[in-house]
Amino acid sequence: MTQVSPPDAVRPIAWRDDALVLLDQRVLPQEEKDVVCRTAGEAAAAIRDMVVRGAPAIGITAAWGVVLAVQEHGNAPDWQAKLAADMARLRESRPTAVNLFWALDRMQLRLNQLVTEGADAAQRCASMLAEAQAIHEDDIAINRRMGVLGADYIGKGESVLTHCNAGALATGGYGTALGVIRSAWAADRLAGVYADETRPWLQGARLTAWELLRDGIPTTLIVEGAAASLMAQGQVQWVIVGADRVAANGDVANKIGTYGLAVLARQHGVRFMVVAPTSTVDLDCPEGAAIPIETRAAEEVTRLGDRPVAAPGAGAWNPVFDVTPAALVDVLVTERGVLERPDRDSLLALMESA
């Protein structure tokens, strides 16, 4: 029998005993193991090595990484130079998730204020810890609000397809796309959830299914190649995904395969929803073509864990993300409101709203 947990029980990031504690997502669902980071360098490595993943979670982890750096360097004569080097290391950990840079910029702004105020080392530590905690707690509250807003679009008895993992594991808690799914399920709207396996890291099979089943939400896995047939048979009415960056014109960068789902959804009359906090919106990025797309090692494709699955000598192209044009997005859900058919003008108006 599946053990059902409270709908906000999964928390992949915690601050305990002056250290950052991360649920190691590389070993789920077979093992629930924590990775403890005591330096900013260790936090950066955890982001780079996929201990933690998902744009909001990456940003939160980076904010706590700054706290670790402030603690470590304390009153050292060159503390500002050391802290700058650590923040640069954090910035380089993942290039696509804009929340990383948003969180670091917010932490840098608070640090600048403290320097101007003449704060001592203890005051800097306390204030930066409070700032990181606020970023973390705000993310959870934002996810809950987006969950309610997005769930209003789900009709009674409808089913949804999601891709990768945009749940509590990808955020501070509750989730973006999975936050909508959780809210819709709680409102007795959803008939069921389909989840893409999501090669090569299998976030859908390992993480999304694990989260939803813990909440008692029925989940059916499919391989990505089955999505078209699923839609053709009328089995889903919505595709719901998160985002790692939203460009100023509404184009969306998300896990590789998202673009293909959007094309299939439009062909089959299935609606396509993106759920992302405004911290994911990058108004300095004019369109999707300007979003840097991370490419990872070929071995992630040619191997499955430690086991080779490809013919010896075969190469592999392994982009982590793709870009879905705004024209294929039916609904963009943010904590500030929902945009139907988002475009440059509506997105700018949303970002300028208080």
Q: Where are the beta strands (DSSP E) in 223-353?
A: 238-241, 245-247, 252-255, 271-275, 281-282, 303-304, 307-308, 321-324, 331-334, 337-340
The number of angstroms, rounded, from the C-alpha of 209 to the middle of its chain's C-alpha atoms is 16
Is 24 a known active-site residue? no
Q: Is 306 exposed, middle or buried (0-12, 13-18, 19+ CB in 10 A)?
A: exposed
Counting other chains too, the contacts that 224-231 makes at CB distance below 8 Å and 24 or more residues apart are 224/196, 224/197, 224/198, 224/199, 224/257, 224/260, 227/161, 227/196, 227/260, 227/261, 227/264, 228/264, 228/268, 230/161, 230/194, 231/161, 231/264, 231/265, 231/267, 231/268, 231/270
CA distances from 341 to 93, 125, 255, 259 (A): 32, 44, 21, 16
Element (H, E) at 203: helix 203-203
Element spanning 346, H or E: helix 344-352
Q: What angle do CA 50, 201, 136 make, to 5 degrees?
A: 40
Q: Which residues of 30-57 are buried (b: 16+ CB within 10 A; e: fewer)?
A: eeeeebebebbbbbbbbbeebbbbbbbb
Among 139, 244, 251, 330, the one annotated catalytic: 244
* Token reading at 268: 């089959």
Q: Which amino acid is at 233?
A: Q
Residues serving a catalytic function are 244
